[in-house]
Amino acid sequence: EVQLVQSGAEVKKSGESLKISCKGSGYSFTTHWIGWVRQMPGKGLEWMGIIYPGDSDTRYSPSFQGQVTISADKSISTAYLQWSSLKASDTAMYYCARQGTETSLDYWGQGTLVTVSS
């Protein structure tokens, strides 16, 4: 069974750093892109970027380029999303998703809620 399990909720202060994770299982982690999606409170889905764990090829949405870093450790089947200096506006739910059948996002993690206080 394909699963993406994300790390737990985080409460941080502005200016702090953070790295959240997404662990894949039940499939070949190195041969499927993993994407990250932001959902701010009460808002829609926003594409942040995507990584190919096989060679760490990474693409960012222009809106998030330079704001976050996407990485992966294929030895433990885990993708990451990190911030070096959080802002209150980073408060959101963050989802990872596998790019699968015909480039669809066919499996999703349960989401990680990040709350940043100023």
For other proteins, which residue of 47, 54, 91, 115 counts as binding (CB under 8 A)? 47
Of the residues 56, 110, 117, 118, which one makes contact with other proteins according to CB under 8 A = 110
Minimal distance in Å, beta carbon 16 to other proteins?
25
Please enumerate, as own/partner, the contacts of 22-29 that have beta carbons within 8 Å and a separation of 24 or more.
22/78, 22/79, 22/80, 22/81, 22/96, 22/109, 23/76, 23/77, 23/78, 24/77, 24/78, 24/79, 24/98, 25/77, 26/1, 26/2, 27/2, 27/98, 29/53, 29/74, 29/77
Binding positions for other proteins, 25-44, rule CB under 8 A? 35, 37, 44
Binding-site member from 61, 67, 71, 91 for other proteins (CB under 8 A): 61
Beta carbon nearer to other proteins, 92 or 97:
97
Does residue 95 bind other proteins (CB under 8 A)? yes
Of 20, 79, 80, 109, the one binding other proteins (CB under 8 A) is 109
